[in-house]
Amino acid sequence: MEHRRHRRPHDHQRVQLDDYFFARDIGRGTLDKKYERVPPARFSADSDDLFMRSMIMKYAAEEKTEDGAPSGNFFMNEASTRAACTEVLGSHKGLKGDDLKEYLKTYFPRTWAHFDVNKTGMIGVEVMPQFVRFVASDQSLQL
């Protein structure tokens, strides 16, 4: 089997999308081996952090191991982060339509640049609460 180096976000290189499973991949695969997303134990119970579970199950990309299996390590690319922010700003800040589009156009790029300092194209899912509060300019935002 060909050895393939995985480009994790801290490697200061852009990641390769084929190194990840996306939420759209859940249930896809071969008859005997379909991709199943399993959130980390600390986010799997109903009493746990619902925001983080939503980020993992609905938006995040799961890194593949060298042999192509799910690793349990979750990251957000720019598009999925923008989609998550769109949802949260709509539900928590009441932004919609053109106001939401203009808000994201103004504040999302600088927030993404702040969090993706190495310009890898991915950030760890664990920073999403801080990211959303930063883009919303509301550090007390209840997620």
pLDDT for residue 5 is more than 60: no
Q: What local confidence, expressed as pLDDT, does residue 41 receive?
A: 82
Q: How many domains does the chain have?
A: 2
Confidence of residue 12 (pLDDT cuts 50, 70, 90): very low
Q: What local confidence, expressed as pLDDT, does residue 13 receive?
A: 56
Domain shared by 25 and 63, yes or no: yes
* Phi-psi region at 18: left, alpha or beta (left = phi > 0; alpha = psi -120 to 50): alpha
Domain with 86, as residue range(s), is: 78-135
Single pTM value for the model: 0.81
Intra-chain end-to-end CA distance of the chain, in Å: 44
Domain shared by 22 and 54, yes or no: yes
Residue pair 129/143 in contact (Cβ under 8 Å)? The answer is yes
Nearest to 115 by CA among 105, 126, 104, 102: 126
According to DSSP, the residues that pair with 33 across neighbouring strands are 30
